[in-house]
Amino acid sequence: MIDSVTEVVSALQELEQDNEEQSERINNLFETGLNLDKRVVNNAGITDHHALIPTNLVKNVNLINALTDDEKKIFNLIVNRLLCALDQPEDSSFTVENATVKDCEKKPPRRYNDSTLLSVMENIDNLIDDKVLKTNIKGKGIGTPATRAAIISDRKPMEIKHKSKYDGEPIADCPRCKKKNIDRKVYETKDNFTCEGGKSCGFTIWKKDKFNYYFNTITKKKAIDLIAGKQVMMKRKNKEGKEYEALHFLSDDGVYINFKLVLKEKSEPLGLCPRCKEQGAEKQILEGKMNFYCESGKDGCGWTIWKKNNKPEVTVTAKHIKELLTQGYTNFSIKIHENSPVTKKYCIVNNGKYVNFREYNG
């Protein structure tokens, strides 16, 4: 076969030598070598006959010249087809001009209405894949022409029951799944409150909180509140191991569920802490509910002045503290006798542990 193809192409070369374009094409084919791989020429693939190709008869120029115009067109088609097949495959690149991108939208299947539903019921076999079933149902449909309309008008909205492997009512929507627009619920189990999505979600609050504050027991109410984003009182320990209660909120980084301490809202800073300043640190004095304190906290410098002060017996305000921190003294109104307050200048003395007031003498 390979030999005869080569022979035919040689004959075509002879035949087409007056046709410049075609003869150049054939010359090129011979130069680069005919592509005679198995996809083009394969003797094993021939059963009844091979593809339509020119035969050795192309050697007979008179025969070709005698073809009618229509015959010549068909002949050229076959020649072209053969030459294309014998060409070496090559990677070609080209530039496209004026390409436009058409915006298309894929529509969901239309909903049925009463009339399309009638037709679906009549030709229900169209929607059946099972061949045997399809054949058996064909021509029968659902209902009869007389009953179909009534079947449709009698249909009731289907109630889809939410099935879950968990018992009882869910306690909340799963907040983690909600973020992904998946409707899953959180159920209470013996040991935890967990998303019905199981491992695919992983949202779980353990009743015995062994990871965060092991001594807490999370009740159903606490779990509901935490999931709802509320702040919940929980025990925790300070650095000395002493227990105290504080507000916590649920934090979910997508992997771990944690209870995080609600940080006190910081008040407007009143001035730099003098005690920290001595150590070269810049810490602010803040106003608390009962006191003014250094933001370095309990484990920090410990600078504290109580609002209800004993010596002298006054109520210390933020204004006093600001003055003390900036100008070094403040005026207190001291009651010495009933109804006769005396204004006295005070400054603060820092003895390393406590912060005391003393009269200011310039």
- Residue 81, phi then psi, degrees to nearest 5: -60, -45
What are the angstrom distances between the C-alpha of 92 and each of 96, 100, 359?
A: 13, 22, 96
- Residue 350, phi then psi, degrees to nearest 5: -110, 105
Which region among 19-27, 134-142, 192-200, 345-353 touches Zn ion (by CB under 5 A)? 192-200
Q: How far is the CB of 205 from Zn ion (least distance, A)?
A: 12
Which region among 21-29, 112-120, 300-308, 309-317 touches Zn ion (by CB under 5 A)? 300-308
Interaction residues for Zn ion, span 77-136 (CB under 5 A) = none
Pairing status of strand 308-309 against strand 340-350 = unpaired
Binding-site member from 296, 304, 309, 356 for Zn ion (CB under 5 A):
296
Q: Which is nearer to Zn ion, 240 or 299 (CB)?
A: 299
Cβ pair 235, 216 in contact under 8 A: yes
Does 294 bind Zn ion (CB under 5 A)? Our answer is yes
Does 257 bind Zn ion (CB under 5 A)? Our answer is no
Which region among 82-90, 243-251, 286-294, 332-340 touches Zn ion (by CB under 5 A)? 286-294
Six-digit token string for 329: 């003294």
Which region among 96-104, 118-126, 303-311, 321-329 touches Zn ion (by CB under 5 A)? 303-311
Q: How far is the CB of 237 from Zn ion (least distance, A)?
A: 24
In the block, residue with structure tokens 């294309």: 84
Does 227 bind Zn ion (CB under 5 A)? Our answer is no
Cβ pair 180, 165 in contact under 8 A: no
Does 223 bind Zn ion (CB under 5 A)? Our answer is no
Does 176 bind Zn ion (CB under 5 A)? Our answer is yes
Six-digit token string for 122: 């009549």
Does 285 bind Zn ion (CB under 5 A)? Our answer is no
Residues in the chain, overall count = 362
Does 172 bind Zn ion (CB under 5 A)? Our answer is no
Task: Supply the DSSP string of 190-216, one letter for each residue.
Answer: SSEEEETTGGGT--EEESB--SS-TT-
Which region among 120-128, 162-170, 254-262, 266-274 touches Zn ion (by CB under 5 A)? 266-274
Does 276 bind Zn ion (CB under 5 A)? Our answer is yes
Binding-site member from 174, 250, 314, 324 for Zn ion (CB under 5 A):
174
Binding-site member from 41, 195, 234, 325 for Zn ion (CB under 5 A):
195
Does 301 bind Zn ion (CB under 5 A)? Our answer is yes
Six-digit token string for 239: 């650095």
- DSSP H helices, 16-164, are 20-32, 61-65, 69-86, 114-122, 131-137, 148-154
Please choose, from the candidates 221, 229, 247, 253, the residue with its C-alpha nearest in 3D space to the C-alpha of residue 207.
221
State how far the Cα of 343 lies from the Cα of 333, in Å rounded to an integer.
Answer: 4
Does 259 bind Zn ion (CB under 5 A)? Our answer is no
Residue ranges binding Zn ion (CB under 5 A) = 174, 176-177, 184, 195, 197, 201, 203, 273, 275-276, 283, 294, 296, 301, 303
